[in-house]
Amino acid sequence: MTSDPIEVRAFRHAPVGVIVARPDGVIVAGNPAAEKLLGREPADLLDSVLFDVVHPDDVEEAHQQYARLLAGRTRVLRHECRVRLRDGQVIWVSVSVSRVLEGRDRIEHVIIHIEDISERKQREADLSHQALHDPLTGLANRALLMERIREAMSGRGRHARPSHLFYLDLNGFKEVNDRYGHAVGDVVLTQLARRIVALLRAGDTAARLGGDEFAVLCEDTDPRHAASIAERLQAAAAEPFLIDNTRVCLSAAVGSSPAQVTDPADLLREADRRMYETKRRTSSAPVPGPRTAAPTRKHS
C-alpha cells in the first residue's frame, strides 16, 4: 500500500486553512484546518461559494478585491475580512489568494489560505479604545472629542447640520475628594458619566476632559434647544450621588457654544469660557478664569 503523494499530505496537514475553488468562487476542496476554522463539515464546505461565509458588511469589498485578482492586477491577493460561522459566531480572518493558471491566461483554480486573526484584531481594538477613551469613565477623551468636532466641522456649509458643544464643570468636587477620599470621588465621576450618556442620542459624544470636567458634542441640534440641554446636564449633576451609605450632593456649571468657528480648539475654549461665565454668575466666591489651554487639569 503506497502512501499519498507529498502534495496531498501537505494539503491535508497544513496548519492553516487551505481551500481550492473555481474562478467563480465555488469551493472544490478544503483541508481539515479550513473545515475546523469555518465550523463546516466537509460536505457543507464543498460546492458552497466563497462569499457565502463572508460577513454581509464585508461582501462588497471582498468581491472587489477578488475581481482584481481575476483581472491579473495582482498576483497574490491579501485581504482581511469577517466571516460568519455556522453557529452565527463572527471571526476575523486573513486571506491570501493566488491563481492556478492553465496555459498563460486561463485561470483553472484559485488557492486560498485562511487564518483566524480575531485575537490580533481584538488587541488592536483594545489599544485603539484605550488611546481614545478615558480609563475611569469609559467616555471619549480629549483627543477623540477633538476628532469628533473636526468631523462635525468638516461638513459645514450650506447644508451643514448645526452642532453645539457643552462644557460641564462640577462645583465642590475637590471637597468631596478631601472629605471622603478619591475612591468616592471616582464613583461620583463614573455615576455622572452614566447619567450624561443616558441623556444623549446615539450620534452625540460625551467626553471627560480631566478631573471633574466633561464635554458633550451634540450634532444636528437646533440652537434653540441648547438651553434645555444645558439644564438637563445641570440636573444630572445636581441629583444626589448615593455611594454606600454616603450621600454626596453637588452642582455643576455648564457653558455651551455653537460650532461657528473653524478650529476645534477655539470651540472648546469658547465653551469653557462660557462655562466659567455661568460659574461666576451663580457663585458668590471668586472663580478663576478658564484653563482650557492648560495641558494638565485637576485629577480625581
CATH number for the domain harbouring residue 74 = 3.30.450.20
Summarised one tens digit per residue, pLDDT across range 76-127 is 999 999 999 988 899 999 999 999 988 777 899 999 999 999 999 999 999 9
Number of domains in the chain: 2
Summarised one tens digit per residue, pLDDT across range 166-203 is 999 999 999 999 999 999 999 999 999 999 999 999 88
Residue 299 lies in a domain: no
Give 3's pLDDT tier (boundaries 50, 70, 90).
confident
Half-sphere exposure of 81 (CA within 13 A, CB side): 25
Residue 79 lies in a domain: yes
Does residue 64 surpass a pLDDT of 60?
Answer: yes
User: What was the pLDDT predicted at 260?
Assistant: 82
| Domain closes at, from 100, 122, 144 | 122
Identify the active-site residue in 116, 134, 169, 212: 212
Cα→Cα distances 257→26, 57, 152, 154, 165, Å: 57, 37, 14, 17, 5
- Cα 216–220–221 angle (5° rounding)? 65
Q: What is the CATH number of the domain that holds 175?
A: 3.30.70.270
Q: In terms of domains, do 92 and 213 share one?
A: no
H or E element, residue 42: helix 42-45
H or E element, residue 114: strand 106-116
Q: In terms of domains, do 82 and 149 share one?
A: no
Does residue 157 surpass a pLDDT of 80?
Answer: no
pLDDT above 70 covers a percentage of the chain that reads: 91
Q: In terms of domains, do 74 and 155 share one?
A: no
Q: In terms of domains, do 98 and 158 share one?
A: no
The whole-model pTM stands at 0.71
Residue 46 lies in a domain: yes
Residue 293 lies in a domain: no
User: What was the pLDDT predicted at 156?
Assistant: 52
Q: 486560498: which residue's cell?
A: 112
**What is the chain's mean pLDDT, rounded?**
88
Q: In terms of domains, do 140 and 269 share one?
A: yes
Does residue 295 surpass a pLDDT of 80?
Answer: no
**212 included as an active-site residue:** yes
User: What was the pLDDT predicted at 223?
Assistant: 80
Domain that holds residue 53: 6-122
Residue 185 lies in a domain: yes
The stretch 158-167 carries a mean pLDDT of 77
